Amino acid sequence: MLQRIAKIWSEKGQGIVEYALILAFVVAIAVVALKSDSGIGQKIQNLFDNTGTKIEQAGQNVGGTGGGSTPNQ
């Protein structure tokens, strides 16, 4: 019985390590892509900046102050 539990525990640990390695690889690729001179990082930064600006403008057009999550009444 203990051997069976040890085998299951070992397989779960192996799965966690594999997922961690995959995650680390994806993060490394993302960092390289964002820091490269290809312009991807700048395009993503511009996208976030434009989105933030549009959200602020939408809040002002509704009449909100931009500081709270509840609308003014």
- Inside any domain, residue 10: yes
Prediction pTM value: 0.46
Owning domain of residue 24: 1-37
**Total count of domains within the chain:** 1
- Inside any domain, residue 47: no
pLDDT, tens digit only, all 73 positions of the chain: 667 666 666 667 778 889 999 999 999 998 888 787 778 878 888 898 999 999 999 988 886 555 555 555 5
Q: What is the pLDDT of residues 34-53, one digit of tens each?
A: 787 778 878 888 898 999 99
**Contact between 62 and 68 (Cβ < 8 Å):** no
- Inside any domain, residue 72: no
Nearest CA-CA partner of 55 in 69, 44, 40, 43: 69
